[in-house]
Amino acid sequence: MVSIIVPVYNVINYLDRCIASILAQTYREFELILVDDGSTDGSSQLCDFYKERDERVVVIHKTNGGLVSARKAGIVAARGEYIGFVDSDDWIEPPMYERLIRSAVKYQADLVLGGSIEDVGGQTVYKTNRLKTGIYDDERLQKELYPYMICAGNFFRMGIQPYIWNKLMRRELAYPNIMAVDARIRVGEDVAAVMPMLFQAERVIITDFCDYHYCARSASMIWERGNEEKEWNELGILHCFLQ
């Protein structure tokens, strides 16, 4: 039913926590695709370690090509009807995918959106989408989601979190949009995939589930000095994308 894709590159200090949290999900009907993007720090061997011990784990070893190329390799191999992504230095709460897939199946949704938990500097901050929870389709997509998903009231306040990792999406929606992202993109790759999906989805579910732990660290691809700066950055990227 679900393929969970984790791009992996030199995250040996975080990878064990990430994989263990996925394998501990209360929802069990998934495959975990670990895409080793040419790691040199032992992450590759740890991926193989888990593959030997759990039949749900699939490992892809490839030469280094960046995050976008790793996501593409994962979705090409994915067999699930629904796709989820987890960054390899983050981790998730046990009920995350059970909650997301339950909403997707119950309401026949193309895209289910969750919130996130930001673990930064010893502080834990729960963040949900600013648009109301509920089912968005037909007229409600046109009147309540599209006009406010980029700017919800206050300037530079996005209505929808633009990240790919706190969502569950149908494969037929995710595949073409992930594959269309230029692999040379190093910042804003989530926006380039998520925004087209929102426009193409016939039914979107917004939930208030905060089960995804986003862990900001100085070695991450993006290091921001706070939530406001992060949203300015994402919106600037989105503006460039929409041009």
Position 126 pLDDT exceeds 50: yes
What is residue 119's predicted lDDT score, i.e. its pLDDT? 82
Question: What value does the mean pLDDT take over residues 199-217?
Answer: 94
Report the pLDDT value the prediction gives residue 154, as an integer from 0 to 100: 64
Residue 63 has pLDDT above 90, yes or no: yes
DSSP bridge partners of 120: 123
**Beta-carbon count within 10 A of 4 CB:** 25
In whole angstroms, what is the distance from residue 153 CA to residue 138 CA?
22
148 vs 112, which has greater pLDDT? Answer: 112
User: 40: burial class by Cβ within 10 Å (0-12, 13-18, 19+)?
Assistant: exposed
Per-residue pLDDT tens over the stretch 186-206: 888 999 999 999 999 999 999
Per-residue confidence (pLDDT) for residue 217, from 0 to 100: 62
Choice between 219 and 175, residue whose per-residue pLDDT is larger: 175
Average pLDDT of the residues in 94-113:
98
Whether residue 173 contacts residue 201, with contact meaning beta carbons closer than 8 Å, is answered with yes
Helix-helix angle 171-179:189-200, to 10 degrees? 140
pTM to 2 decimals?
0.89
Strands of the 203-206 sheet, one edge to the other? 57-62, 30-37, 2-8, 82-85, 167-170, 111-113, 203-206, 134-137
- Please give the structure tokens belonging to residue 73: 């390799």
pLDDT at position 158 is 82
Contact indicator for 131, 206 with CB cutoff of 8 Å? yes
Is 80 exceeded by the pLDDT of residue 129? yes
In the chain, the amino acid numbered 163 is Y
Three-state secondary structure call for residue 5 = strand
In this model, does residue 144 exceed pLDDT 50?
yes
| H-only helix segments in 58-188 | 67-77, 96-107, 138-140, 171-179
| Residue 104 clears pLDDT 90, i.e. is over it | yes
The answer to whether the beta carbons of residues 74 and 7 sit under 8 Å apart is: yes
Of 30-34, 103-107, 114-118, 230-234, the one with minimum mean pLDDT is: 230-234
Q: For residues 146 and 156, which has the higher predicted lDDT (pLDDT)?
A: 146
* Residue 201 in tokens: 């989805």
Report how far apart, in Å, the C-alpha atoms of 82 and of each of 100, 104, 108, 165 are.
10, 9, 11, 13
